[in-house]
Amino acid sequence: MGGAPGRACELCEAARLTTWYHEDEVCWVAECEVCAVPMVVWREHAVDPPDQVRRHMLDQLAQAADAVLGAGRWSADEVMRQIPDHFHAHARDPDWWMRRLGRLRSG
CA distance 62 to 38: 9
In a domain, 88, yes or no: yes
Q: Please report whether residue 14 resides in a domain.
A: no
pLDDT tens digit at each of 107 positions of the chain: 444 455 689 999 999 999 999 999 999 999 999 888 999 999 999 999 999 999 999 999 999 999 999 999 999 999 999 999 999 999 998 887 777 666 555 55
Phi, psi at 98, each rounded to 5°? -65, -40
- Number of domains observed in the structure of the chain: 1
Among residues 41, 98, 35, the alpha carbon closest in space to that of 68 is found at 35
Query: Counting Cβ atoms within 10 Å, is residue 30 exposed (0-12), middle (13-18) or buried (19+)?
Result: buried
Half-sphere exposure of 93 (CA within 13 A, CB side): 21
Domain assignment of residue 2, yes or no: no
pTM score of the predicted model: 0.84
- Structural domain that includes position 94: 22-106
Domain membership flag for residue 15: no
